[in-house]
């Protein structure tokens, strides 16, 4: 007997928790993120073989790995960095040569600028949650040639939102960085600092003033190196250096060549982390059993092949679209939602770090303007994966698998599910409908919220469709186990709405279909149980109006973005005026032109395939041949499309409803084909 959904989900969540602990937060390297993705994939595709003994062994393994890593005598370098903005009082605490150099050059290069200081000497870094530093963060090694390599996440704040012709450009934000090198590294003969650009190192103490803290300015366009033991004085205090970047023609690059012992300890720590994660994977989801499953079960083999291809395609697409993602970090583009989400996420984390829960819950806005949920999920990504975008990309790698599961539920054909999921995951065959992983990865790399919302919506449909297929008979003893499924349907829809409130019409329709499916139980007690769980799952959407009322003292259901004229292309009054004009034979042409211009812009006549898909879905609603789940998807897609009558839904805003309408259209065509085939007319 297959384990229940509750048991599978509980085991999977415990497995994820132990994987995080063993790998060590944050998972900010390609190695750690890659092993974590591998583990999640195998866990999702295979069956857990977890006994009490294996669970205890996994917990013991986790404890041993954590203990061994804790015993490693690693040396940590304190890093402090921030964007330089002149006339900022707190920045005058920098050594005078550093401040003077930056201020003089800033005035020359940017007599007019559009950035504002965060009023901090050293910026906050999310790594502070995992290892506290008196500066910004602790590092075990240093090697960067740009802010991308350095993963300077503090630059992703609205203080530094420059775009178009405003200066300085975001790729060239002036900054300074300080490194406090511990004595055991600084006084080692093999430790070297290599750099290009402007470096400030402590002056050699003179006999007259041995306690002098002045700094020498070293500038070079070609890489130079020096041994720290020749400069550092024998003491227990760190050896401090500063780097400064202000001139795009003189980029700053700094790298540390560390002693063999430090390199060996870092390698050992990585080996312990990766091997521990693989051991825990084997305890929960035995690799031998998984390989056997791949060999003997065609469905598992297809899903495994799908995930392998998807992961490779997604990573390559991400790197081609944003080459600087090779460092794992994304410097957000200015004048764009991407930077706003990143900035509000950092506001949430900074507030949490200092224990200001009220500010953290406020999320940077008293009344939501940006999409409400994404700032918090973005903050979660930063907490778990450091100053990288690995978490969001890992999540999006599972999008084709969700498509496969949905198609399989609707078409009842593993072959069709596999082919359509492959077309979605590896090709732009249906790019006109936004039905392609290519777009999801690109949106993910822009930090947009649509992939999260769309994926959550697809998962909700996949979990809910079995109810519409009457697969859960009320007389079965296991009926109570499906209560969790009802809750998850509501919760996934709540996530979809929280991430993108404009999907509310579609979510509302599917909730009604779910309620109807509960009525088919013909059992009042079960009906109310499932309806309660569905409602509880969806209830987090109430947090949005509650947030707006509590922090902004105004009732706004979701966000004020929906009230902006830039988004609301057609007013409701325009339709009322046209409707009244039809009866009085005096149609107001201004309102009519506004409506027709908007609709033909959103659904262009030169794209007849869009109209064909709409007609097929309308036909599906009234066709007796279309099963109830197909009708649910069709009506959900059409209701979601209905926002086109008022709002601009081009591009990424329309990918969800066009994808649903495409799937439903393919389903009705497949149903008609099979009907004719069974009747012998084909």
| pLDDT tens figures, 299-316 | 999 999 999 999 999 999
Rounded CA-CA distance 547/372 in Å is 10
pLDDT of the residue at 209: 47
H helix intervals, 246-332:
260-284, 287-296, 298-321
Q: Is the pLDDT reported for residue 522 higher than 90? A: no
- State the DSSP H helix or E strand holding residue 377, giving kind and residue range, or none if neither: helix 374-385
pLDDT of the residue at 233: 76
pLDDT of the residue at 477: 46
Q: Is the pLDDT reported for residue 1 higher than 70? A: no
pLDDT of the residue at 211: 45
Q: How confident is the model at residue 670 (pLDDT cuts 50, 70, 90)?
A: very high
- State the DSSP H helix or E strand holding residue 244, giving kind and residue range, or none if neither: strand 239-245
Q: Is the pLDDT reported for residue 31 higher than 50? A: yes
For 588-641, the pLDDT digits (tens) are 888 889 999 989 998 999 999 999 999 999 999 999 999 999 999 999 999 999
pLDDT of the residue at 422: 97
Supply 379's token pair: 């903050």
**Which range among 149-163, 206-220, 640-654 shows the weakest confidence by mean pLDDT?**
206-220
Average pLDDT, the chain: 93
Q: Is the pLDDT reported for residue 546 higher than 80? A: yes
Q: What percent of the chain has pLDDT over 90?
A: 82
Taking residues 534-552, report their average pLDDT. 98
Q: Is 330 helix (H, G, I), strand (E, B) or coil?
A: coil
pLDDT, greater one: 6 or 332: 332
Q: Is the pLDDT reported for residue 451 higher than 90? A: yes
Helix 399-411 with 437-445: angle, nearest 10 deg: 150
Q: Is the pLDDT reported for residue 210 higher than 80? A: no
Rounded CA-CA distance 539/555 in Å is 17
Q: For the whole model, what pTM was predicted?
A: 0.95
Q: Is the pLDDT reported for residue 586 higher than 50? A: yes
Rounded CA-CA distance 328/330 in Å is 7
pLDDT of the residue at 206: 47
Q: Is the pLDDT reported for residue 446 higher than 90? A: yes
Q: What percent of the chain has pLDDT over 70?
A: 97
Q: How many residues does the chain have?
A: 682
Most confident of 200-209, 261-270, 334-343: 261-270
pLDDT of the residue at 473: 58
Torsion region of 131: left, alpha or beta (phi above 0 gives left; psi -120 to 50 gives alpha): beta
pLDDT of the residue at 495: 99
Who contacts 457 (Cβ-Cβ below 8 Å, separation ≥6)? 492, 493, 496, 503, 506, 507, 656
Backbone φ and ψ for 113, nearest 5 degrees, come out as -140, 165
pLDDT of the residue at 205: 63
């Amino acid at each position: 007997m297959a384990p229940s959904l509750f048991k599978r989900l509980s085991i999977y969540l415990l497995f994820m928790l132990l994987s995080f602990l063993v790998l060590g937060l944050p998972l900010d390297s390609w190695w750690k993120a890659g092993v974590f993705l591998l583990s999640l994939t195998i866990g999702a595709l295979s069956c857990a073989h977890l006994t009490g003994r294996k669970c205890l062994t996994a917990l013991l393994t986790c404890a041993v790995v954590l203990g061994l890593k804790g015993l490693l005598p690693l040396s940590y370098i304190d890093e402090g960095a921030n964007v330089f903005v002149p006339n900022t009082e707190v920045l005058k605490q920098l050594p005078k040569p550093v401040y003077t150099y930056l201020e003089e050059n800033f005035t020359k290069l940017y007599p007019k600028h559009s950035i504002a200081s965060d009023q901090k000497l050293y910026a906050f870094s999310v790594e502070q949650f995992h290892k506290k530093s008196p500066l910004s963060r602790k590092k075990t090694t240093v090697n960067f040639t740009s802010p991308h390599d350095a993963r300077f996440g503090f630059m992703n704040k609205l203080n530094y939102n420059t775009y178009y012709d405003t200066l300085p450009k975001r790729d060239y934000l002036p900054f300074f960085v300080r490194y406090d090198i511990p004595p055991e590294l600084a006084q080692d003969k093999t430790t070297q600092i290599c750099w290009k650009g402007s470096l400030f190192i402590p002056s050699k103490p003179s006999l007259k003033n041995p306690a002098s803290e002045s700094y020498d300015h070293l500038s070079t366009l070609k890489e130079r190196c020096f041994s720290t033991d020749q400069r550092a004085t024998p003491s227990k205090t760190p050896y401090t250096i500063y780097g400064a970047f202000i001139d795009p023609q003189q980029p700053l690059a700094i790298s540390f060549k560390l002693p063999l012992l430090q390199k060996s300890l870092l390698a050992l720590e990585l080996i312990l982390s990766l091997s521990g994660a693989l051991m825990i994977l084997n305890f929960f989801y035995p690799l031998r059993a998984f390989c056997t499953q791949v060999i003997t079960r065609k469905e598992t083999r297809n899903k495994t092949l799908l995930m392998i291809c998807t992961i490779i395609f997604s990573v390559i697409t991400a790197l081609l679209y944003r080459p600087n993602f090779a460092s794992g970090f994304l410097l957000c583009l200015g004048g764009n939602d991407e930077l706003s989400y990143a900035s509000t996420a950092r506001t949430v984390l900074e507030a949490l770090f200092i224990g200001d829960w009220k500010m953290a819950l406020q999320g940077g806005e008293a009344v939501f303007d940006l999409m409400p949920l994404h700032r918090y999920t973005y903050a979660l990504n930063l907490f778990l994966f450091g100053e990288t975008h690995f978490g969001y990309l890992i999540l999006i790698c599972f999008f084709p698998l969700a498509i496969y599961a949905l198609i399989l539920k609707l078409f009842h054909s593993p072959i069709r599910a596999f082919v359509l999921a492959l077309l979605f995951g590896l090709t732009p065959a249906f790019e006109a409908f936004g039905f392609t992983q290519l777009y999801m990865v690109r949106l993910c790399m822009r930090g947009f919220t649509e992939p999260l919302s769309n994926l959550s919506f697809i998962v909700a449909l996949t979990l809910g469709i079995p109810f519409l297929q009457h697969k859960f008979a009320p007389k079965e003893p296991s009926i109570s186990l499906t209560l969790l499924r009802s809750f998850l349907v509501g919760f996934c829809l709540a996530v979809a709405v929280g991430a993108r409130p404009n999907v509310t019409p579609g979510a509302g329709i599917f909730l009604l279909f779910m309620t109807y499916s509960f009525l088919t139980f013909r059992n009042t007690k079960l009906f109310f149980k499932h309806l309660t769980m569905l409602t509880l799952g969806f209830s987090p959407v109430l947090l949005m109006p509650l947030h707006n009322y509590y922090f902004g003292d105004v009732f706004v259901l979701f966000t004020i973005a929906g009230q902006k004229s830039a988004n609301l292309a057609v007013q409701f009054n325009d339709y009322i005026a046209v409707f009244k004009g039809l009866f009085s034979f005096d149609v107001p042409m201004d309102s009519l032109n506004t409506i027709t211009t908007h609709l033909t812009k959103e659904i262009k006549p030169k794209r007849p395939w869009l109209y064909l898909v709409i007609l097929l879905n309308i036909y599906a609603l009234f066709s007796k041949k279309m099963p109830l789940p197909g009708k649910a998807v069709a009506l959900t897609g059409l209701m979601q499309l209905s926002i086109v009558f008022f709002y601009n839904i081009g591009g990424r805003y329309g990918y969800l409803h066009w994808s649903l309408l495409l799937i439903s259209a393919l389903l009705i065509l497949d149903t008609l084909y099979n009907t004719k085939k069974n009747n012998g007319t084909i």
